[in-house]
Amino acid sequence: MSSAQNELPFFRTDEKDPNVAFLISVLHDATDWLTAAQIIEFVFGRTQVKWHERKVRELAEASGGEIAGGQDGYKLVRKMTNEEYNHFRNWMSSQSRKMTERVLKTDRIFYNRKPI
């Protein structure tokens, strides 16, 4: 693992961030799913200043549901086929269930332990 640490934002990105609208415009012109690496390469080319994949994910999350992200990359929800949307929705719902199950399992261990 690299010892370099990416800077973390001091506040959460929201829908008003101009980079959200910019990412939507980039995806609007795309004909297919784009990975974070492809988006970064397209936007910044070989410049020294770059977004990190974490930034792309953060902007997609802040898009108010406009951008779907997953195993295939990122795509505008309005440009998804029924099949793509159903796959995305099922995948996200499955991830949500798995995370909830994990929380419930850790709750059982935490609340049944001896107090520290």
- Give the count of domains, the chain: 2
Mark whether 57 and 73 lie in a shared domain.
yes
Q: What is the mean pLDDT of the chain?
A: 86
Question: What are the structure tokens assigned to 67, written together?
Answer: 């951008």
CB 67 within 8 A of CB 27: yes
Mark whether 106 and 55 lie in a shared domain.
no
Give the mean pLDDT of 8-22: 72
**96 lies in which domain range?**
81-116
CA gyration radius, the chain:
18
Q: What is the 8-class DSSP label of residue 68?
A: E
Phi, psi of 75, deg, nearest 5: -155, 150
Mark whether 68 and 23 lie in a shared domain.
yes
Q: How far apart are CA 106 and CA 88, in angstroms?
A: 27
pLDDT tens for each residue of 29-65: 998 999 998 998 888 775 555 678 888 999 999 999 9
